[in-house]
Structure 1
Amino acid sequence: MRLAGFLGPAGLGLILIMSSAMSGAVAQSGLARFQGAWLSGSVDCEEVYSSAGKGVSFKRPVDIFAPAFIVTGSRLRTPQATCRIKSARPNGDRQLLVLDCANSVAGSEVRVLMSLQPDGSLRRYFNERDTTGTEYKQCSR
């Protein structure tokens, strides 16, 4: 009886852990296409980014005005802020990312609409009505 009584709560705990891990994997798979360093405009990637071991980082001194961001796992970093990606879900032909961002002054929730383009670039939209968006090229994966 003791073993059966223990397995019930232990089994429930295992199920909760597995479902949490699975939901993280699902969210992660939605972000897989956005992983890497992205840059908008005519600036060369080498002017903004430098290699940092296995990944990429912002070149020092950081240009806080660079239209750039890096997605690594469930983190999105800009020259001025670090964000945790709380969720990523389809919104028509775009992805809606809900971010929990913080900089040296404050923290806030930010919603971002993005879509990958057939040529491998990415477009960021200011809102649902924005049909043009801002184009970003991928600098590294």
Structure 2
Amino acid sequence: MRVAEFIRTAGVGLGIAASAAVSGAMAQGGPSGYQGAWLSGGMDCAEVYSSAGKGTTFKKPVDIFAPAFIVSGNRLRTPQASCRIKSVRPAGDRQRLVLGCTNAVAGNEVRVLMATQPDGSLKRYFNEQDTTGTSYQRCSR
């Protein structure tokens, strides 16, 4: 299975997008509007994440199918992959993130569309035609 498929399976598929908070964020060391731990679906944050010193990590044993990810600086981690955020660019009312991702088996470039929402949540879109998106709540900063 390719890295992109791993990420989609983990619920991230990854489209991370739009808001003024993200504009120029790469110059500041990462996409500031997306920093923190994010979770989709009916799971509780405490089921997936634990606090560790300075930040949040995936709880052990890691649920590889949890629709979750953590953004810290210019890194994005899912339960199965670690990605470097190469770029963040506007794509209409969303942001297109280009990620360099690796897992235990392979490495791959992944493109993701996302947008922050007025209520502080985040929506990930599978492609430009996706008008619904998948909602994520922020578990921690």
- TM norm structure 2: 0.80
- Size of the aligned set, in residue pairs, is 117
State the alpha-carbon separation in 2 of the partners of residues 53 and 91 from structure 1: 36
Determine helix, strand or coil for the equivalent of 1:33.
helix
Structure 2 residue 30 is the aligned partner of structure 1 residue 63: no
State the alpha-carbon separation in 1 of the partners of residues 119 and 102 from structure 2: 32
Match of 1:27 in 2: 26
Contact 2:82–2:102 (CA under 8 A) maintained in structure 1 = yes
Give the structure with the larger helix fraction: 1
RMSD: 1.2
The alpha carbon displacement at 1:27 in A equals 1.2
State the alpha-carbon separation in 2 of the partners of residues 138 and 93 from structure 1: 20
Whose relative contact order is higher, 1 or 2, with alpha carbons under 8 Å and at least 6 apart? 2
- Deviation sequence 1:40-86 (CA, Å, 0-9, x none): 00100000000011100000000000000000000000000000000
Identity %: 73
Match of 1:96 in 2: 96
- Counterpart of 1:111, as a letter, is R
Alignment of 1:35-74 (within 5 A): 35-74=35-74
State the alpha-carbon separation in 1 of the partners of residues 107 and 128 from structure 2: 24
User: For the pair shown, which has the larger CA radius of gyration, 1 or 2?
Assistant: 1
